[in-house]
Amino acid sequence: MKRFKSIVVAGFAILMTAAYLLPALTASAASSAALSITPKKNYTIEPGKSIKDTLVIRNLDKEVPLQLTLRVVDFTFNDDGGTPKLMLAEDAPQTTWSLKPFMTLPKSVTIEPDSSKTLDMKVEIPKGHGAGSYYSAIVYSSGSSEGGNVGLSASGVTLVFTQIPGKVNEDLTLEKFGAYSGSGNQASYKYIMTDMPQIMAYTLKNDGNVTESPVGSITLKSMFGKEYVIDDVNPNKSLALIGQSRTFASCIKLKEAEIDLNGKRSRSTECTKPDFWPGLYTANLDIFYGQNGNQTQEIVGTAHFWYLPWWFILLVTVVLLVIAYYVWRIVRRVKYGRPGPRTKAPRRR
């Protein structure tokens, strides 16, 4: 009996210890949340055909496996920028441009620490499907943590764009064009700039049924005749999504640099100050768009802006004051036959 009692006590102790430790173990054994993925995929698929591709995912964590669940969701635009607004709700209605029904990919994957896995994916467009742009997003979610007040999880997203060739409805309208400054949602078009203008931008409304990526140029002319040409008005190959008013920004003068991201060489660009003189500038926009086999459309626009740095405003103010002073003196001399009060009258001999 004594032995039985001690076995029960020992068993209870083990159970309690396990119960105490288990949540901590569960939490610490959670998935890694360090991953590398492909951010964007672009396809052109004819109706009745399919494409097989691969998704390469890397677990960057050196100790913990990466457990991911994969989901396809639709997305749209947030604003006039390029950030996707993911429709994550389970009951989110399917968009008219959804690629979801045509995509096949695994539902989950586990990747060992510090290694990669290649997943097969397929996009199949049914026969007779209408032409246009279709897009959705693949969301890779790491497992959520258990315990604590604030749990963390990480997800990566691959945006998938597919063009179905054929006759499409293309309709871009120029909404705004001009000098641009600021970043994020504080960026705006400017007519008078006190800082050296570095960016020109244009906003296009897309009322067609395809995503559009315009090409073309902007020619800037100063009031003294000096010309500056931006020969690539869409350097990032950005897209105007269906229904979006998209702002495309381009540097007036570019600085390029080679960079290395985890062993992959790439090219980065940033805006630098052009050698502008103060004054009035006129900008002419000439852009083209159009899908294969459809009409090439052209949009032209003209904008003006002033570059008036503070030092120039100060200088002009001082010059104007000096001119005003001398005009005033001349007026007084003509009117009263004598100079202004600060000028001494000539002595009589």
192-193 and 297-307 as β-strands: parallel, antiparallel, unpaired? parallel
Task: State the number of binding residues for another protein (CB under 8 A).
Answer: 94
Residues in 302-341 that interact with another protein by CB under 8 A: none
3-state secondary structure 199-263: EEEEEEEECCCCCECCEEEEEEEECCCCEEEECCCCCCCCCECCCCEEEEEEECCEEEEEEEECC
Local structure of 2: helix, strand or coil: helix
Choosing from 95, 98, 141, 198, the residue that interacts with another protein (CB under 8 A) is 141
Q: Does 164 bind another protein (CB under 8 A)?
A: no
Residues 218, 283 contacting (CB under 8 angstroms): yes
For residue 343, the minimal CB distance to another protein (Å) is: 46
Phi and psi torsions of 228, nearest 5°:
-130, 135
Q: Give the C-alpha separation, 160 to 122, whole Å.
A: 11
Please tell me whether residue 243 binds another protein under the rule CB under 8 A.
no
Q: Contacting another protein (CB under 8 A), which of 270, 323, 326, 327?
A: 270
Q: Which stretch binds another protein (CB under 8 A): 190-198, 201-209, 286-294, 315-323?
A: 286-294
CA distance 156 to 163: 23
Residue ranges in 75-114 that form contacts with another protein under rule CB under 8 A: 78, 81-86, 88
10 Å CB burial of residue 50 (0-12, 13-18, 19+) is middle
Select 238 or 339, whichever has its Cβ closest to another protein.
Answer: 238
The single residue among 103, 119, 157, 196 that binds another protein, judged by CB under 8 A, is 157
Q: Which stretch binds another protein (CB under 8 A): 9-17, 97-105, 255-263, 333-341?
A: 255-263
Interface with another protein, residue 62, by CB under 8 A: yes
Verify binding: residue 299, another protein, rule CB under 8 A: no
